[in-house]
Amino acid sequence: MALQLHNTATRRKEIFEPIDAKDVRMYVCGPTVYDFAHIGNARPVIVFDVLFRLLRHIHGAARVRYVRNITDIDDKINAAAKANGESIRELTTRTAEAFHDDVAALGCLRPTIEPRATDHIPQIIAMIEALMASEHAYRAEGHVLFAVASDPDYGEFSGRSRDEMIAGARVEVAPYKRDPADFVLWKPSPPDLPGWDSPWGRGRPGWHIECSAMSEAHLGESFDIHGGGLDLIFPHHENEIAQSTCAHDGRPFARYWVHNGFVTVDGEKMAKSLGNFRAIREVLAEVPGEVARYAMLMSHYHDPLDWNEDRLGQAKHALDRYYLALRGVSDIGAAPTGPSPEFLAALEDDLNTPLAFAALHDLLSDLNKADTPADKARLKGELLASGAVLGILQQAPEAWLKGQEEEAVEIEALIAQRLSARAARDFAEADRIRTELAIRGILLEDKPGGKTEWRRAV
């Protein structure tokens, strides 16, 4: 079966045909590094990591280029650095390193190339100059703006009316704009903010032009796949398309546009004001990264995903079953097979991970029922190869299961210390231990007769 992807540009599922099968190219919008990444940010990282792995399996690892940028110049970064009392360089370095640590713990491969916006100022300036030369951009009061009226196709990608576009862009009301929908390509920088010399004075780029310039620098004017979250369709990706096509005389930009759905928390939109804002590292303090990754992939990438304790619990239970089965055949070598045909067919159908998990479950059942060493070796090989495409089941079973067992012993020891503290009427210490365990996602329930039972919150 050929790989099919839902293309946002055409609003239908299409067979993926790369421009050059020997050089498959994908660009995904990466983080703006001003704060710790949250679980909503984790979803596109995991989704496109699976697509990256699948493309490498189909075409060969050396024939796939995956570019995921880092936005390290942005007004949010400037504001956060000022609020924290640190330099912009300190903030972006610290948060970029934290992002790398977090997504590595989620089992994500590093992209082939990870460009930073601040390293591409010459390319950004060159693209803006091309837009001005073709009269798609204009200068006004130290700014350079894209003239949306100059692009007759503007708005087709997102399918929005003009009023919706203006409202959805949350545009800055500025008297120097020719059109309220025009967006900034370059803005002036005061002395206390980062800036670069340009034909329009010292300034810094707008957000949208950064991705257009970085994708061209590393993938060319036209490439295969552009990915990101649904929230980026407008205005970010609409503006990228406008800039890139207009800067290159209408030549195509990305051929396939892939967008993942939103993440909610217990049915509500994730927001700091609601108290349900979860940083990736907060989740990793409660569950192993592989559990969080599995939980993310339980829903189809295009659907909304509700992040809750039940989802994590189901993911943990499922992984325990797989690793128990793999431990049972640890004395048998895995046959050098690839992923199962049913598993691959599921992923090639627009990354249908729920169906892929069903195929994995069938492999697990067959492995548990297998009688001969040859069958066990074949099924073990297919299970591990399939898991590798999803980025799971790559740990040693003993290490995974030992970690769970060692944690249980530690929890029991802390409960015993708490019971001793209560017997000595040291209630402050007893409360401290309960709180420590609660932070780790371990809930205690005191029973009659002085016995205490524990359970995981997830």
Give percent of the chain above pLDDT 90.
80
- Judged by DSSP in three states, 32 sits in strand
For residue 170, what pLDDT is reported? 52
Instruction: Give the separation between CA 288 and CA 293, rounded to whole angstroms.
Output: 9
- Please report which confidence band the pLDDT of residue 268 belongs to, taking 50, 70 and 90 as the band edges: confident
Instruction: Give the separation between CA 197 and CA 121, rounded to whole angstroms.
Output: 10
Instruction: Give the separation between CA 444 and CA 39, rounded to whole angstroms.
Output: 27
Tens digits of residue pLDDT in 403-453: 666 777 788 888 889 989 888 989 889 889 898 888 666 788 888 877 888
For residue 273, what pLDDT is reported? 64
For residue 160, what pLDDT is reported? 83
Tens digits of residue pLDDT in 170-198: 556 688 999 999 999 999 999 999 999 99
Joined together, the tokens standing for residue 250 give 């209408």
Nearby residues of 39 by Cβ (< 8 Å), 6 or more positions away: 263, 265, 270, 278, 279, 280, 283, 292, 307
- Judged by DSSP in three states, 257 sits in strand
- Architecture of 327-395 per CATH? Up-down Bundle (1.20)
- Mean pLDDT (the chain, rounded): 93
Question: Amino acid identity of 97?
Answer: E
- Please report which confidence band the pLDDT of residue 458 belongs to, taking 50, 70 and 90 as the band edges: very low
pLDDT (average), residues 50-79: 97
For residue 6, what pLDDT is reported? 98
- Please report, for the chain, the start and end positions of each structural domain, with discontinuous segments joined by +: 327-395, 401-456
Helix (H) or strand (E) holding 107: none
User: Whose structure tokens read 């990264």?
Assistant: 289
- Cα–Cα distances in Å, from 55 out to 50, 63, 225, 257, 284? 9, 9, 11, 15, 28
Q: What helix, strand, coil percent values describe the chain, rounded to 5?
A: 50, 15, 35
Is the per-residue pLDDT at 298 higher than 70?
yes
What per-residue string of b and e applies to 110-148 under the rule 16 or more CB within 10 Å gives b? Answer: ebbebbbbbebbebbbebbbbbbeeebbbbeeebbbbbb
Supply the pTM of this predicted model: 0.89
Q: Which range (49-63, 164-178, 203-217, 353-367) has the least confidence? A: 164-178
For residue 448, what pLDDT is reported? 83
pLDDT (average), residues 54-59: 98
Question: Amino acid identity of 229?
Answer: G
- Please report which confidence band the pLDDT of residue 327 belongs to, taking 50, 70 and 90 as the band edges: very high
For residue 68, what pLDDT is reported? 98
Q: Which of 118, 183, 176, 173 is nearest to 150 (CA)?
A: 183
- Please report which confidence band the pLDDT of residue 277 belongs to, taking 50, 70 and 90 as the band edges: confident
Q: Which range (96-110, 139-153, 194-208, 259-273) has the least confidence? A: 259-273
